[in-house]
Chains A and B, each alone.
Chain A
Amino acid sequence: MRGPSPELRVIFAEEFRRQIRGFGFAFFTVLIPVLMLIAIPITPVVVDLVEGDDSEGVPVVTGAPLERIGYADPAGVLPVREPQAASRRYGDLAAGIEAVRQGEIDAFFVLPSSYIESGVVEHYRASGESRGRFWGNAAAEFAFRSFLTGELIAGQVEPSILARALHPADYRNFEIGADGAVAEAIPLAQEIGELLVPTLLAALLLIGVLSGSGALMRSVAEEKETRMIEMLVTSAAPLSIMSGKLLALGLAGLIQIAVWIAVATFTMPAIFDRIPNGGDLTISAGLLTTVSLSFVLGYFLFSVLALFIASVVSSSADAQKYTGLLSLLTALPIWLAGLFISQPDGAVAQILSYFPFTAPTTLMVRLGAGSDMSEGEIALALGITAGTALVLLWVASRVFRAGILLSGQRITGRNVWAALWHAQ
């Protein structure tokens, strides 16, 4: 069996190097994991904000506190206990400050004598910490608040009541059908997972298209504009040039996705751990397979579309304009996510599922929103996407060489036809 030509390998290596060295690739590859990591400390704060400050809601901390905290109790409202994992008691303010300075604890709280009347708690921490001051404060205050709640009512009620007060409810959800039949609802974690994972993948597809396909389109257009392409086509077959670029883009995209998924594997459980009743993020295998397939086919389709456009435009400025078209086609279903979530099987959702350039993202968002699409409908939408990508690949490979002639001309159906004709 013949392997890829040496020229294809050279073009692949060069294009891959160019892709991963590009600003867009580095930016988005790093940005998503950073956002995921930031989400870990933010989650409890957001949850806290969402739950509000009402006295009925008792914040719940599962697992270890986020920070090592200490406290002093001049108000005398907390029981004196043995040293605990959650927090450490100090005799006075000076001892607490020294503990912070020595690094024994991250934050030190003082309940002043007026605490019961005023509710004011003093919070001390070291200055110049490397981490964000706001998030460090918020995490420590959240942890201390939970501790304080438990301690204030400890001894006032039965231990079992206290435990329940700290963790008042685990919900089981049921749905009543139109016929009166009652069925257990999908667990919250699974519901969130099945909405979150496809929607995230749709967003990642948009980012991938923006950073990868857009860069590829601009680079090919630049090669045409500068006539570099003429030097390339005297060295390599147009199909080798195109395949090399396409494979490089695909590999760069896969690496990007692999980095995101690898980071998500570690961060998502940590984020869900910090959500009350979050449990484990789950998603059904069938849905995961379908959205993954949609993602891969969508990435392939938009890569081929980028190459096709680059084949017929004559300047990188023109290519820049068409990058907007690529992102519009990818983003449209995300913009309509609200509509899809309320009507996952509505007319708009159905139409966009069978239009090849919106099908991959629409499918991901619809399935995440709980659409009742049959297996046949899903297969048809994916088939349209794959079929369009293959037809476009064939056309692009025909036009690619002849497209060199279209220097300085606008992209029109007539030009494309002329390019196809010259490729005969």
Chain B
Amino acid sequence: MTRASLPASETVLRVKDLTKTFGRRTVVDGVSFDVRRGEMFGFLGPNGSGKTTTIRMALGIIRPDAGSIGILGSPPERSVLRAVGYLPEERGLPRKLRVLDALRYLGRLKGLTVAEAEDRAIALLQQLDLDEHYKKRVEALSRGMTQLVQFAAAIIHAPEFIVLDEPFAGLDPLNVERMKEMLFERQRTGATIMFSTHIMSDVEELCDRVALIADGHLLLFGDLAEIKRQRGANAVLVQAPRVPEALTAGRPAVARSGVVEHVLEGGSTPEAVLRAYLDAGISVERFELALPTLNDIFIEEVSRARSIS
């Protein structure tokens, strides 16, 4: 599984100052970000943070109270949305419909002929290892299978831009891997992918750029590696035969697979850690700055935003 290299930085989705209020509650407040062509973009946020409402506004399902949306260079109109594939958060297909009928129906709505829709549906079902189930009614499928079928519906028309709202929620690890592989495949053929999630490991694995939203406010947006670099190292990883006593005086260092993690606290710096090893005459085989995980950043940012509000 490999990430595709990013082509030109053309914008596929641009939202600017997007705001939406339901009753007295502002669920999205002045959110701005953009998604570039060919990238895999992670849209993060805790539950109820406004991710789904933002996606719905971006796709023209609901209208924003303020702000602007540009999707594939136009407002979110039907003609443009034909080139978009969408997997909603709450999943479901008509229960009485057969799997193939449901895919054919949704494919035809995206402009495919009956034959095209059927051929692509069968190919996708084979890829998802669901080809034995295409004659079954949707109600006979498990929740995970239904989710995969709906994923197939979202990409059946080979869209330029794929928007997935919590795509991996409820799937077993095998199907998560299968879906990720298919997303990479789509990305390699030029599709842009944006997905929302609150599972940080998925984002770290898949995404180049991210936006973090909480309580309707955008907290972070940009290149994931750059965001981590800006945060700076909060620990160093050292592989050496032993740990200098100077560094174990306060508390023992944690070692995993021969690698010791020294948390940088109380004014400690990476340079000071390295000097302690060299002063003790210990040869260092590996020395690495440990950048914060996305999970750390997520918790820190969301907690800070909530404590301020």
Interface residue stretch chosen among A40-48, A116-124, A227-235, A258-266: A227-235
A232 touches B94 (CB 8 A): no
Check A219 against B86 for contact (C-beta < 8 Å). no
Is the beta-carbon distance between B62 and A226 smaller than 8 angstroms?
A: no
- Is B106's CB under 8 angstroms from A235's CB? yes
Interface residue stretch chosen among B34-42, B107-115, B217-225 = B107-115
- From A423, which residue of chain B is reached at the shortest CB distance? B63
> How far apart sit A14 and B109, CA to CA, in the bound complex (Å)?
10
In contact, A230 and B105 (Cβ under 8 angstroms): no
Taking a contact as CB atoms under 8 Å apart, the answer to whether B109 and A10 are in contact is yes
Within 8 A of B (CB), among A233-258: 233-237
A7-B109, A234-B84, A235-B110 known; A228+B92 contact, CB < 8 A: yes
Task: Tell me the complex Cα distance, A230–B52, Å.
Answer: 12
Across-interface contacts of B275 in A (CB, < 8 A): none
Docked-complex contact B86 and A230, CB < 8 angstroms:
yes
Knowing A7-B109, A235-B106, A235-B110 are in contact, say whether A226-B59 is a contact too (CB < 8 A). Answer: no
The interface residues of chain A lying within 8 Å CB-to-CB of B62 are 402, 404-405, 422
Decide yes or no whether A11 CB sits under 8 A from chain B: yes
Q: Which residues of B contact A (CB under 8 A)?
A: 22, 56, 59-63, 78, 81-82, 84, 86, 88-97, 105-106, 108-111, 150, 153-154
> Would B94 and A234 count as touching, CB distance under 8 A?
no
Chain B residue with Cβ nearest A17: B101
Q: Is A318 an interface residue (CB 8 A)?
A: no
A234/B60 contact (C-beta < 8 A), A10-B109, A11-B109, A405-B22 known: yes
With both beta carbons as reference points, the residue of chain A lying nearest to B112 in the complex is identified as A10
The distance in angstroms between the C-alpha atoms of A6 and B90, with both chains bound, is 27
A223 interface residue per 8 A CB criterion? yes
Query: What are the interface flags for A395-424 relative to B under an 8 Å C-beta threshold, 1 for contact and 0 otherwise?
Result: 000000010110000000000000000100
> Given that A233-B61, A404-B61, A422-B63 are known contacts, is A227 also in contact with B88, CB under 8 Å in the complex?
yes
Chain A min CB distance to B161 (Å): 11
Bound complex: CA A405 to CA B154 (Å): 21
Is residue A151 contacting chain B, with contact meaning CB distance below 8 A? no
CB contacts (< 8 Å) of B63 on chain A: these are 422
Docked-complex contact A226 and B109, CB < 8 angstroms = no
The yes or no answer to A225 lying at the interface (CB within 8 A) is: yes
Task: Assess A237 versus B86: contact at CB under 8 Å? Given A226-B93, A230-B56.
Answer: no
Q: A10-B109, A405-B22 are in contact. Are A230 and B88 (CB under 8 A)?
A: yes
Q: Which residue of B lies closest to A235 (CB)?
A: B109
The 12 listed contacts between A and B (C-beta, < 8 Å) are A7-B78, A11-B109, A18-B96, A223-B94, A225-B92, A227-B88, A231-B86, A231-B106, A233-B60, A234-B81, A235-B106, A402-B62
Identify the closest chain B residue to A6 (Cβ): B111
Partner of A235, one of B81, B92, B95: B81
Q: Mark A194-234, 1 if CB is under 8 A from B, else 0.
A: 00000000000000000000000001001101111011111
Complex Cα distance A405/B59, Å? 14
Q: B93: which A residues are within 8 A, CB to CB?
A: 226, 228
Inside 8 A of A225's CB, which chain B residues have their CB? 92
Docked complex: A101-126 residues within 8 A CB-CB of B = none
Min Cβ gap B80→A in Å is 10
Query: Which of A225, A231, A235, A405: most chain B Cβ within 10 A?
Result: A231
Contact of B61 among A10, A222, A230, A237 (CB under 8 A): A230
A402 to B86, CA, bound (A): 19
Q: Which residues of A contact B (CB under 8 A)?
A: 6-7, 10-11, 14, 18, 219, 222-223, 225-228, 230-237, 402, 404-405, 422
A227 to B106, CA, bound (A): 13
Beyond A18-B94, A234-B86, 20 additional contacts (C-beta under 8 Å) are: A7-B78, A7-B109, A222-B92, A222-B94, A222-B95, A225-B92, A226-B95, A227-B90, A228-B94, A230-B61, A231-B154, A232-B109, A233-B61, A234-B59, A234-B60, A235-B81, A235-B106, A237-B78, A422-B62, A422-B63
Which of B62, B84, B95 has its CB near the most chain A CB atoms (within 10 A)?
A: B62
Most buried by A among B56, B60, B91, B109: B109
Q: In the complex, which of the residues B60, B78, B108 contacts A10, with contact meaning CB atoms closer than 8 Å?
A: B108
Report the bound CA distance from A402 to B105 in whole Å: 23
B105–A14 CB distance below 8 A: yes
Known: A236-B109, A404-B62. A227 touches B91 (CB 8 A): yes
In the complex, which of the residues B60, B94, B110, B111 contacts A226, with contact meaning CB atoms closer than 8 Å? B94
Query: In the bound complex, do residue B78 and residue A236 qualify as a contact, i.e. CB atoms below 8 Å apart?
Result: yes
Rounded to whole angstroms, the CA-CA distance of A226 and B81 in the bound complex is 20
Inter-chain contacts of B60 with A (CB < 8 A): 233-234
Instruction: State the CA gap A225–B91 with chains docked (Å).
Output: 9
**Residues in B whose Cβ lies below 8 Å from that of A18:** 94, 96-97
- Complex Cα distance, B105 from A236, in Å, reads 12
- A11 contacts which chain B residues (CB < 8 A)? 109
| CB-based contact B89/A227 at 8 Å | yes
A409 to chain B, nearest CB (A): 10
What is the bound-complex CA distance between A226 and B109, given in angstroms? Answer: 18
- Between A7, A223, A402, the greatest number of chain B beta carbons within 10 A of the residue's beta carbon is seen for A7
- CB contacts (< 8 Å) of A230 on chain B: these are 56, 61, 86, 88
User: Which residues in B have their C-beta under 8 angstroms from that of A232?
Assistant: 109
Report A-chain residues with C-beta under 8 Å of the C-beta of B92.
Answer: 222, 225-228
A236 to B91, CA, bound (A): 19
CB contacts (< 8 Å) of B109 on chain A: these are 7, 10-11, 232, 235-236
Bound CA–CA A233/B63 (angstroms):
13
Return chain B residues, CB-CB under 8 Å to A219: 94
A244–chain B nearest beta-carbon distance, Å? 10
In the assembled complex, the Cα of A223 lies from the Cα of B92 at a distance in Å of 8
A225 to chain B minimum Cβ distance, whole angstroms, is: 7
In the complex, the answer to whether A234 meets B61 with C-beta atoms within 8 Å is yes
B141 to chain A, nearest CB (A): 13
Cα distance, A10 to B114, chains bound together (Å): 10
Chain A residues within an 8 Å CB radius of B96: 18
Contact present for B105 and A226 (CB under 8 Å): no
CB of A107, distance to nearest CB on chain B (Å): 48
Residue of A nearest to B23 (CB): A418
- Specify the chain A residue showing the minimal Cβ separation from B62: A405
| Across-interface contacts of A227 in B (CB, < 8 A) | 88-92
The answer for the CA separation of A7 and B89 in the assembled complex, in Å, is 24
